[in-house]
Structure 1
Amino acid sequence: MAIKLGMLLVFFAVMVGIGLYCRRHASDVNGFVLGGRSVGPWLTAFAYGTSYFSAVVFVGYAGQFGWKYGVAATWAGIGNAILGSLLAWAVLGRRTRIITQHLDSATMPEFFGKRFGSRSLKIAASAITFLFLIPYTASLYNGLSRLFGMAFDIDYAVCVMVMAVLTGVYVIAGGYMATAINDFIQGIIMIVGIVAVIAAVLNSQGGFMAALDGLARVSDPAASSTPGVFASFFGPDPLNLLGVVLLTSLGTWGLPQMVQKFYAIKSETAVHKGMIISTVFALIVAGGCYFLGGFGRLFSDQVDVAADGYDSIIPTMLSGLPDVLIAIVVILVLSASMSTLSSLVLASSSTLTLDFLKDNFVKDMKEKTQVLIMRVLIVIFIAISVVIAIVQYRSNVTFIAQLMGISWGALAGAFLAPFLYGLYWKKATKAGCWASFLFSVVVMLANMLAPQLFPAVLRSSINAGAFCMLAGLVIVPVVSLVTPKPDRKLVDDAFSCYDQKVLVRQREALGDGE
């Protein structure tokens, strides 16, 4: 117990210390929200990765999908690395950085408002962001409950409040820069932790080959009648596994707290380096989490999924580890959760302040007032999420993966297509954006409240969210082509930033001459 508490206290002290150290970077809106747009590749890549993967992935998704698909669940981690990190950086990173600076937008809703010339679009995007980040935030806390109960026997409400307060302190004090530096440290902890845990769990089953052999002998007629299916390449249900891969990978392209990382990156070189670093990070952390969860059925004699739910699988797998490893696991999950929580509350507070309150309710809001309001909103947002998390835990409303699926589905489904087409296609219209917003919000709310109305394959919030994202990629161009064309001057002004000539070093680009 002394080892566990000692490691926790050191971890918390470092996080808060960095927040206080970074106060000078958070004196204005640009510094508080974007770190002055001067964040290097390592900090940005780790901020992206740690915001991507939280306790939801480690405890909820890894346990649930590892149980359902066996080692084939590792495909979700590979998809997160290739589609959710590598391609996201390659397709969105550079253009997002250039156009958002040109339009002077610090948030995704502000980008929509300026790119499409619509204040109502900005307000709607702000409301969607705030409302659907709440269930995601509540799910972060839930991933900690069983692990802390296993390691410390501490009441869940106390655990939630301590984590929320400490995260709030360093975000409020240091803003984005404090979040980015802490994300870097937390990312290193996550990498070391997941590698150590995988090695320990497989060793407890006699090594990798013995564990794989044991998994091949597991049978579950309810999942599949094929022998050895849980140790196979694609698992018992490739179609639903594809839905998981799409939602958890393509979804990052439309999540405000993820895309906002590209706003802050420093330079062209930083984009390329960050892309590689982020991909490797995702491959280790996400691939490792799902790979570990794939062996969950080897512990079926210790866990009762019907009674305790999927969220009990990973904690059960870890319960027999040495105290030092359990302490590392707890700090790993805390790191994952706090990094994502800090990103979410910063995104939501900046969105409400800059896109909803400023100019709409408070005219000519001063810079210091904006930063102050954002700090106050961070406190309010964290408080709301804590209350929801505790109420949800006490009433046992739903599983972690369902909460996250609803949030990701609504946000990514609403924003992915409008943002992507807004970056690349001049003919995209605000009507196309509205159609994407409304379609995804209505579908995900209906899926949450009346899943029986959907065909069997779409009753899962995971599959429904993936469907909304793919549907948006069709809805936006179709609606844009049949509605009035956007203002030519507005569009040309937005895209003019891509045509500006800049001087670069000879080693970075060849000249036109012979």
Structure 2
Amino acid sequence: MAIKIIFLVVFFAVMIGIGIMTRKKANSVEGFVLGGRNAGPWLTAFGYGTSYFSAVVFIGYAGQFGWKYGVASTWIGIGNAVIGSLLAWIILGRRTRVMTKHLNSKTMPDFFGKRFDSKALRVAAALISFIFLIPYTSSVYNGLSRLFNMAFNIDYKVCIIVMAALTCVYVILGGYMATVVNDLVQGIIMLFGITAVIATVLNNNGGFLSALTTLSQSESDLPVTAGMQGAFTSFFGPDPLNLFGVIILTSLGTWGLPQMVGKFYAIKDEKSVKAGTIISTIFAFIVAGGCYFLGGFARLYEGNPAIYKDDGSVMYDSIIPTMLENLPTILVGVVIVLVLSASMSTLSSLVLTSSSTVTLDLIEQIKPKKNEDKKKREKTQLVTMRLLLVFFIAVSVLLSLNPPTFIAQLMGYSWGALAGAFLAPFLWGLYWKKTTKLSVWVCFIFGVGFTVANMFLKFIASPINAGAVTMVAGLIIVPLVSLITPKLAKDKVDGIFSCYDEKVTVEKKYSLPENAPADEA
């Protein structure tokens, strides 16, 4: 117990220390929200990765999908790395940084408002973010309950209150830079932690080959496996179609999440884009791939009463903690810090995004304009963001302390609504001049409407698959509606896209000159 407590005390001390060290970077709105657009590759890449993977993934999703799909759930982690990280950086990274800087846009709703010349779009996007980021924030705590009960035998409510309070302190102190510097530290812990946990769990089950052999002999849930032998060790698992839906939601979904895309706003330079792409992808392969690979061996524990409810159904959130029960004490301490790191990094990114969006894109847009000087106005905005940050954390804690019965599904609904509404308009808005304002409205309405309707009517049983449908449909809706609706003024759109045509000078090691003469023999 002493070792575990020491791990926690050191961890929390480092977090607060970083908040104090970076507080000078948060004296302006752009500094507080984007770190002055001066984040290097390591900070941006780890900020992106740690915001991506929370305790929901490590405890909830890894256990649930590992139980359902076996080792084929590793494909989810691979999809997260290739689609959610590599392609996201390649397709969105540079263009997002260039256009948002050109438009002086600080948030995703701000981008929609300025790109499509619509204050109403900006307010609508802010409302969608506010409504669906709160339940997402609450879901971050869910993965902690059984882990802390296993490690400390204490009520997890104490843990989430302490975690929320400490996150609140360092984000209020240092804003974006405190968040990404802490993300770097937390990301390193996650990399080492997941590697050590996988090695130890497999060793406890006789090694990789022995564990795989035992898993292949599982005969439980025959309706799921359709009578297949060794379904849980097969290449695509027992249910490839639903597995594909999970990959789409958890991978493509990041392209439309405000807290994820916002990391691209703050990239420092071209070198940071290229290095960040590589670092972020490797991080996702190790952390996401490792989490789902570990979860793939969940069926090895199917006889353990700790993972079942009284009615005999499986408690997915208890699977990973049960796998970790027999780890050495020091490794349990590492796992606790690992899950806290994953949770606090995601939590800090979410509440910073929520508070800045509501302040800049909602309150500032609907309140009466006053003739106050810029310095005074910025000071007011900073105070408002910090107060709202406390509010969002308090609300998420209250929801987590008394969670509704469907809280475990809220992450799927939140991702579906946010990415379903934002992904397609943002992507097409970056690349296609002919994207129209009305197409964005239609996508907003469809993404949110479809998700909410499915929550109650359940015409698609899985919220994961429903979210995947909204995202893919949005990519089709936006161009189709744009072809038949009024275009924005050509000169205005040309002015927005002119940022991509500006000439820059780079060193030859980053770009070869065109028509360069060949060297003489």
The whole-number CA distance in structure 2 between the counterparts of 1:469 and 1:168 is 32
1:48 matched to 2:48: yes
Question: Who is 1:498 aligned against?
Answer: 500
Contact 2:179 2:348 in 1 (8 A): yes
Question: Who is 1:204 aligned against?
Answer: 204
Q: What is the deviation of 1:320?
A: 1.5
Which blocks of at least 5 consecutive residues in structure 2 are unaligned?
517-521
The whole-number CA distance in structure 1 between the counterparts of 2:345 and 2:27 is 21
Question: Who is 2:391 aligned against?
Answer: 380
Written as runs of structure 1 = structure 2, the 5 A alignment for 1:303-322 is: 303-304=307-308, 306-307=312-313, 309-322=315-328
The whole-number CA distance in structure 2 between the counterparts of 1:139 and 1:399 is 7
1:128 matched to 2:152: no
Q: Structure 1, residues 155-184: CA drift from partner, whole Å, max 9, x if none?
A: 122111101000000000000000000000
Contact 1:58 1:333 in 2 (8 A): yes
Question: Who is 2:450 aligned against?
Answer: 443
Question: Who is 2:337 aligned against?
Answer: 331
Question: Who is 1:235 aligned against?
Answer: 237
Which blocks of at least 5 consecutive residues in structure 1 are unaligned?
none
Contact 1:117 1:490 in 2 (8 A): no
Q: What is the deviation of 1:107?
A: 0.2
Question: Who is 1:398 aligned against?
Answer: 406
Question: Who is 1:35 aligned against?
Answer: 35
The whole-number CA distance in structure 1 between the counterparts of 2:32 and 2:145 is 31
Question: Who is 2:151 aligned against?
Answer: 151
Question: Who is 1:79 aligned against?
Answer: 79
The whole-number CA distance in structure 1 between the counterparts of 2:417 and 2:323 is 32
The whole-number CA distance in structure 2 between the counterparts of 1:46 and 1:507 is 25
Q: Structure 1, residues 269-307: CA drift from partner, whole Å, max 9, x if none?
A: 110000000000000000000000000010011121644
Q: Structure 1, residues 320-375: CA drift from partner, whole Å, max 9, x if none?
A: 21211111111100000000000000000010011111142152571111111100
Question: Who is 2:97 aligned against?
Answer: 97
Q: Structure 1, residues 228-278: CA drift from partner, whole Å, max 9, x if none?
A: 000010000000000000000000000000000000010011100000000
Contact 1:415 1:437 in 2 (8 A): yes
Question: Who is 1:286 aligned against?
Answer: 288
Contact 1:4 1:324 in 2 (8 A): yes
Give TM-score scaled by structure 1 length: 0.97
Q: What is the deviation of 1:485?
A: 1.2
Contact 2:123 2:365 in 1 (8 A): no
Q: What is the deviation of 1:135?
A: 1.1
Q: Structure 1, residues 17-68: CA drift from partner, whole Å, max 9, x if none?
A: 1001110000001110001111100010000000000001001100000000
Contact 1:311 1:399 in 2 (8 A): no
> Residue type matched to 2:332 in 1?
I
Contact 1:115 1:490 in 2 (8 A): no
Q: What is the aligned-residue identity percentage?
A: 64
Contact 1:4 1:327 in 2 (8 A): yes
The whole-number CA distance in structure 2 between the counterparts of 1:359 and 1:236 is 50
The whole-number CA distance in structure 2 between the counterparts of 1:494 and 1:381 is 34
The whole-number CA distance in structure 1 between the counterparts of 2:261 and 2:254 is 7
1:416 matched to 2:423: yes
The whole-number CA distance in structure 2 between the counterparts of 1:507 and 1:478 is 42
Give TM-score scaled by structure 2 length: 0.95
Question: Who is 1:222 aligned against?
Answer: 223
Q: Structure 1, residues 95-132: CA drift from partner, whole Å, max 9, x if none?
A: 00000000000000000000000000000000001110
Question: Who is 1:480 aligned against?
Answer: 482
Q: What is the deviation of 1:143?
A: 0.7
Q: Structure 1, residues 3-26: CA drift from partner, whole Å, max 9, x if none?
A: 000100000000011001110000
Kindly report the root-mean-square deviation, in angstroms, between the aligned alpha carbons of the 2 structures: 1.1
